[in-house]
Amino acid sequence: MSGGQQSHHHLMPFLAVAAGIASFSVMDGLMKGVSLAVGAYSAMLWRSGAGVVLMTPIWKLRGGTIPPAALLRLHALRGANTAGMAVSFFYGITKLPLAEGIAISFIAPLIALYLAAIMLGERISRKAIAASLLGLTGVVVICAARLGDGGYERAAALGIAAILFSAVLYAWNLILQRRQAQIADPIEIALFQAVFTGLTLVLFAPWFATWLPSPQWLAVALSAALAMLSLMVIAWGYARAETQVLLPLEYTAFIWAALMGWIMFGERVSGATVIGAVLIVIGCWIAARGHTEQTAL
């Protein structure tokens, strides 16, 4: 009986992160619709505001207090990172099919290897370099197919560039996410990420903000609720299992993105996108295995 309970306990972080990724994918679909209507910046600005409104009462009811200065700085850093990461990603998926955008963003864990080398002084193994080249090949396959279609080269190029920029910020986010999850409550993380993302974005409001049309408010509210839910369950999972163990679950987002793109926007997934996504995932898997072996030694 105790063995069954222990297995159940070890399974919970995986289920939490998997559910969080599925929830994020539905949110991506909703946010693509809003971004097409009012632009990626305004969509993210209003979603951050809705997140603060939703999370503040929950945080207060749970007896929330202002975090110490060091933790507040970490929340602020991740919030600012999220602002740039999210706006560039949502802009990118207005130019590309949802599944394509998600597939290209999968390069982020490989970028995280190099960020870890720069920020944490970790040594990059030959296996990790080979994995990076494989992942890069996957990105090239997807991008070449998209840019070779003709008709929308400039829009596609802008979308690809935006998602690659977002992937760099997301790689940094993966490092910040683990640090944050170890020292802060999931509800606190969800609230303060919305607060600091919104504060970062509002600095640019005089130039870029657009008021939401009435039909978009429901989509923004649902997006905010899904984002907050995802942040909390993923933070809960990452606090209870290592990043390298949970990282493969990130790739289930491709399945959800393909489904959401088809249901919401009638998007089809090309063979090149599938091949590219597989190459990127294999590259990330090899890199993760190599990191696990080094850690064990």
CB neighbour burial string for 190-202, b if at least 16 within 10 angstroms, e if fewer:
bbbbbbbbbebbe
CA atoms of 102 and 242, how far apart (whole Å): 23
Name, in order, each residue with C-beta under 8 angstroms of 106's C-beta and a sequence gap of 6 or more: 135, 138, 167, 250, 251, 254, 277, 280, 281, 284
The burial of 175, by beta-carbon neighbours within 10 Å (0-12 exposed, 13-18 middle, 19 or more buried), is given as: middle
H-only helix segments in 69-152: 69-95, 98-105, 108-120, 126-147
Mean of the pLDDT values across residues 47-54? 94
- Residue whose tokens read 């490989």: 110
Q: State how far Cα 54 lies from the chain centre.
A: 20
This prediction has a pTM of: 0.85
**pLDDT 10s digits, 198-255:** 999 999 999 999 999 888 999 999 999 998 898 889 888 877 776 666 767 777 888 8
pLDDT at residue 243 in the model: 64
Mean of the pLDDT values across residues 113-131? 71
Q: What is the CA radius of gyration of the chain?
A: 19
**pLDDT 10s digits, 57-89:** 999 998 888 999 999 999 999 999 999 999 999
180 three-state secondary structure: helix
Lowest mean pLDDT among 23-27, 85-89, 184-188, 237-241: 237-241
CA atoms of 28 and 230, how far apart (whole Å): 12
Tokens of residue 163, six digits: 């998602």
- Residue whose tokens read 């063995």: 3
pLDDT at residue 88 in the model: 97
CA atoms of 56 and 23, how far apart (whole Å): 21
